[in-house]
């Protein structure tokens, strides 16, 4: 007969062993992320996609890297099941490695909605200021967005790029018929895109609606520079402009048919101030759209992968960067619909409507004027 104490001991041991297994898996996952980051940044995946299968000698030569490092990376990637070994004619450096189909789309095809290499870049960027983060936890201060460096900025831009270029104007905005009609009209509609980052949402809107003029605003100077460079690749000329501005700046002026904020309200120290600006910038018959993380209605541990992912980013980046300017609302990435509704009411909106647009990561809020 098993006593209650024995049963508890066995349960504890089983839980311990499962947790040990989980931590090993997590370490392997972390190595996947950081080595994918290396492969992404060094152009390994791009070259393997275009010219693979390759030996480490060929990969190193094509990417301007050191053969010994390239070989170790390729072997590690093969062990991890990310690359495949095509031929093994023997001898160091002679093995050929390739990106299997499927993996190629995820790691090397930036126009695919399934492109996820930038996820590794954001995670790598999120841990860059780890010492400042430790201090912030102790003092209640923040970690400025700039301290995360180029990887968070660029990774964020790259991960949303395909959705903003190919889904925003094709699926998301057409799901709001009167906004779609207004932007499609012959008389030039105006859009303000706050917290625009590297500008892909503004560019996506301008590309889909050829008469629309978009002004993008972001607090981060290098993001605005990046946005200008990105826009310069398209024949959209003066229709898209970018400005370094705080979304909550009372001096922001203009009258816009649509005011948007993509994945940024939860990052802002003063989200109510930003929403108040957005309300002021919208014409009386205009629309205000906030797109933010699709976390649950309530805090519920174990609820969803999205929630776990968002809390990870929140602890390391979103909350500390939002706490860098004080006083701060201290929102974090797990901004629930009830929180946004409260912010919107405080900012003077009548209410918030959740739009029936299906998306794994985002929830779409229309703020009612």
Ligand X SMILES: C[S@@+](CC[C@H](N)C(=O)[O-])C[C@H]1O[C@@H](n2cnc3c(N)ncnc32)[C@H](O)[C@@H]1O
CB of 173 to ligand X, least distance (A): 15
Cβ(363)–Cβ(337) under 8 Å? Answer: yes
CB of 273 to ligand X, least distance (A): 8
Name the site residues for ligand X (rule: CB under 6 A).
Answer: 145, 156-157, 160, 194-197, 201, 217-220, 223, 246-248, 262-264, 267-268, 274
Closer residue to ligand X (CB): 55 or 223 = 223
Cβ(49)–Cβ(117) under 8 Å? Answer: no
Closer residue to ligand X (CB): 245 or 283 = 245
Q: Which helix H or strand E contains 243, and what residues bound it?
A: strand 240-244
Cβ(227)–Cβ(242) under 8 Å? Answer: yes
Closer residue to ligand X (CB): 47 or 347 = 347
CB of 269 to ligand X, least distance (A): 7
- CB nearest ligand X: which residue? 197
CB of 285 to ligand X, least distance (A): 25
Closer residue to ligand X (CB): 257 or 293 = 293
Query: Strand 84-87 vs strand 96-98: parallel, antiparallel, or unpaired?
Result: antiparallel
Phi/psi-derived region of residue 304, left when phi > 0, alpha when psi is between -120 and 50, beta in every other case: beta
DSSP 62-80: HHT--HHHHHHHHHHHHHT
Tokens 């009411």, located at residue = 345
Closer residue to ligand X (CB): 78 or 146 = 146
CB of 14 to ligand X, least distance (A): 40
Cβ(143)–Cβ(320) under 8 Å? Answer: yes
């Amino acid at each position: 007969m098993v006593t209650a104490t024995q049963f508890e001991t066995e349960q504890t041991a089983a839980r311990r062993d499962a947790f040990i297994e989980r931590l090993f898996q997590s370490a392997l996952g972390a190595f996947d992320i950081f080595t994918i980051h290396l492969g992404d940044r060094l152009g390994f995946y791009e070259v393997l996609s275009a010219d693979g299968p390759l030996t480490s000698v060929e990969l190193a030569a094509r990417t301007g890297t050191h053969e010994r490092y390239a070989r170790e990376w390729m072997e590690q990637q093969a062990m991890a099941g990310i690359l495949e070994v095509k031929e093994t004619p023997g001898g160091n450096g002679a093995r050929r490695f390739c990106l299997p189909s499927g993996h190629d789309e995820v790691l090397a095809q930036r126009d695919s909605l399934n492109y996820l290499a930038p996820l590794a870049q954001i995670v790598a960027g999120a841990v860059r200021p780890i010492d400042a983060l430790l201090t912030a936890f102790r003092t209640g201060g923040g970690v400025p967005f700039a301290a995360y460096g180029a990887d968070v900025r660029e990774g964020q831009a790259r991960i949303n790029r395909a959705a903003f270029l190919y889904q925003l104007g094709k699926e998301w905005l057409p799901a709001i018929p009167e906004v779609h009609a207004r932007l499609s009209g012959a008389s030039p509609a105006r859009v303000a895109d706050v917290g625009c980052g590297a500008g892909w949402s503004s560019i996506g809107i301008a590309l889909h609606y050829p008469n629309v003029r978009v002004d993008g605003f972001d607090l981060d100077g290098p993001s605005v520079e990046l946005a200008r460079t990105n826009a310069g690749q398209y024949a959209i000329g003066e229709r898209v402009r970018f400005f370094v501005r705080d979304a909550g700046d009372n001096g922001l002026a203009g009258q816009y048919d649509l005011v948007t904020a993509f994945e940024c309200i939860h990052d802002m120290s003063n989200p109510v101030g930003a929403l108040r600006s957005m309300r002021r910038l919208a014409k009386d018959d205009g629309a205000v759209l906030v797109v933010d993380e699709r976390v649950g209605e309530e805090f519920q541990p174990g609820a969803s992968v999205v929630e776990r992912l968002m809390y990870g980013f929140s602890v390391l980046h979103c909350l500390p960067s939002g706490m860098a300017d004080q006083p701060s609302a201290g929102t974090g990435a797990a901004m629930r619909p009830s929180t946004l509704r409260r912010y919107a009411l405080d900012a003077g909106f009548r209410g918030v409507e959740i739009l029936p647009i299906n998306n794994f990561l985002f929830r779409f809020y229309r703020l009612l004027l």
